[in-house]
Structure 1
Amino acid sequence: MIKNLVLIFQKIIDFLFPPVCPICKNSVSQHGTMCHECWGKFNWISDPKCYICGYPLPANLDLGDYPMCPVCANGKNKLDWLRSACVYDDFSKDIMLSFKHAGQIQYQKIMSRAMIMALQEINEKIDIVIPVPLSNRRLFKRGYNQATLLAYPIKNYFGAVLDVNSVTRKHRPDMGHKNERQRKENIRGVFSIVHPEKIYGKTILLVDDVMTTGATLAELNRVLKKAGAKSVMGITFCRVVRAI
């Protein structure tokens, strides 16, 4: 009965406000989706890529069955597994920033759908999904945590627990214009585990919108492993890609 009422209500909404692509405004089949042409504008990260961190690798190299980027080959990446759906470029940047700072929540379904596609490669059972937390000051100013919105469909996909309480974050200045070394220094000690009993022995998936240098995810990995996490993985919508 309730399900039928929801369907009827949705049909009324679609009739009054026909779903359109948020980019080009052409008609689409349902709200929260993009047309095929705009979907094809994403620079998707596909093989060959590092089997640990998912960094795209040159296609003209013989990389074997388990290709690794220089960072992972040198043991500098501490996450057990990491993927990003697409490359951070002008197109993905506009979508990500509109969602993150301009309240364009309609992009949530599009971004999380892309992230779930990138998560098809995962072979382990995910116990807990943790969105990268904001400081209380930034959360109050923005009104929502974009990573939490992205995490809801992902936790449903895995049938995992969404945990937004076990990790807290101190307020620090924005890192937008800092280099890799400055980002690492700025993020050190910013996260605290307040419920270690929920973390111990668990396989955890971190969720964020963008990966720039990886400093944020690396610091979260450090504190979660210190609290006894069995494994820490990560997924972002987009990531900065520099020439290797």
Structure 2
Amino acid sequence: MLDLLLPPDCPACHQPVDRAGLLCPDCFRAMRFIAEPCCARCGQPFSASAPGGAGRSCAPCLDHPPSWRNGRAAMIYDERSRVLVLRLKYADRTDLAPLLARHMVRAGRELLAEADLLVPVPLHRGRLFRRRYNQAGLLAVAIGRIAHLPVVPDALQRVRGTPALARLGAAARHEVLRGAIVARPSRRERLAGRRVILVDDVMTTGATLGACARAVLAAGAVSVDVLVAARASDPARMGSDGGRTTGA
């Protein structure tokens, strides 16, 4: 009855679809989903079929290894995927979390098979109050339901607010985030000895995810992987093209 009254449409272009939560065929084909071969550390797809360097890592990860072990992303952050991410983040389209989570589970299947629990990247309480929800938390809960993994939504906290990162370079982002994210004292026991997957919507330079990974490891986790909905194909351009993102 609900479908008769409110016919389901594509969340990206609003064309009719058979079932709510599905992309239309045109938008599905236009999405740049990430598959092998890609960097094992950050999920960046390789331009050729040959594997990357040592450990299947891209050049930036070889030059500056991230704080986490392995990372995967479901899709490239471009004009199409940006629509879904920004509607989830800023337009109260919380119904998009399960859609993105399904693709994240596909991309991170190997990581999820070895994980003990999921931890979302936190928002500062001021930003959480204004937005009313943490999009990374919604993604983590949706992934947990599919992969049958526990979620600790408040394992990490931002102890101080930080400026918007979209216009900052990698070095400036790392400096701004220094000491800004820590493990919540009451949740350190949940993290100790666990294999943790950090969940976020977008990875750009990896500064935010790196700060989170260091906090989780400092709390005693044995390993940290990352799983995101979208990966910037050219992090240096993020924030200069008008796309709003937290710049993880």
> What's the TM-score, normalizing by structure 1?
0.88
Q: How far did 1:150 drift?
A: 1.0
2:150 alignment partner in structure 1: 161
1:83 aligns with 2:75: no
Q: How far did 1:227 drift?
A: 1.2
Structure 1 pair 63–213 and aligned structure 2 pair: CA distance change class (3 A): closer
1:220 aligns with 2:209: no
SS at match of 1:228: coil
1:242 alignment partner in structure 2: 234
Q: How many residues align?
A: 233
Q: Say which is worse superposed, 230-239 or 114-123, in terms of deviation.
A: 114-123
Q: Deviations over 1:191-232 (max 9, x none)?
A: 121221111000111110001100011111111111110111
1:42-81 matched pairs, under 5 angstroms? 42-59=31-48, 61=50, 63=52, 66-74=55-63, 76-81=65-70
Q: Deviations over 1:159-195 (max 9, x none)?
A: 2211122211121111121111111011111112122
Q: How far did 1:156 drift?
A: 1.6
Gaps of 5+ in 1: 1-11
Contact 2:12–2:80 (8 Å) recurs in 1: no
Q: Say which is worse superposed, 192-201 or 203-212, in terms of deviation.
A: 192-201
Structure 1 pair 166–62 and aligned structure 2 pair: CA distance change class (3 A): closer
Q: How far did 1:89 drift?
A: 1.1
Q: How far did 1:62 drift?
A: 5.9
Contact 1:127–1:204 (8 Å) recurs in 2: yes
Contact 2:40–2:72 (8 Å) recurs in 1: no
Q: What residue identity is the alignment partner of 1:182? A: A
1:3 alignment partner in structure 2: none
1:175 aligns with 2:137: no
Structure 1 pair 123–153 and aligned structure 2 pair: CA distance change class (3 A): closer
> Bigger radius of gyration, 1 or 2?
1
Q: How far did 1:123 drift?
A: 6.4
Structure 1 pair 143–49 and aligned structure 2 pair: CA distance change class (3 A): same
Structure 1 pair 62–88 and aligned structure 2 pair: CA distance change class (3 A): closer
Q: Say which is worse superposed, 21-30 or 140-149, in terms of deviation.
A: 21-30
Contact 1:193–1:227 (8 Å) recurs in 2: yes
Q: Deviations over 1:140-170 (max 9, x none)?
A: 0011111111111211222221112221112
Q: What residue identity is the alignment partner of 1:236? A: V
Contact 2:8–2:18 (8 Å) recurs in 1: yes
2:195 alignment partner in structure 1: 203
CA distance in 2, matches of 1:15, 1:60: 46
1:231 aligns with 2:220: no
Q: How far did 1:15 drift?
A: 2.2
SS at match of 1:162: coil
Gaps of 5+ in 2: 236-248
> What's the TM-score, normalizing by structure 2?
0.86
Q: How far did 1:55 drift?
A: 1.6
CA distance in 1, matches of 2:4, 2:138: 26
The runs of at least 4 consecutive aligned structure 1 residues that moved more than 4 Å come to: 60-66
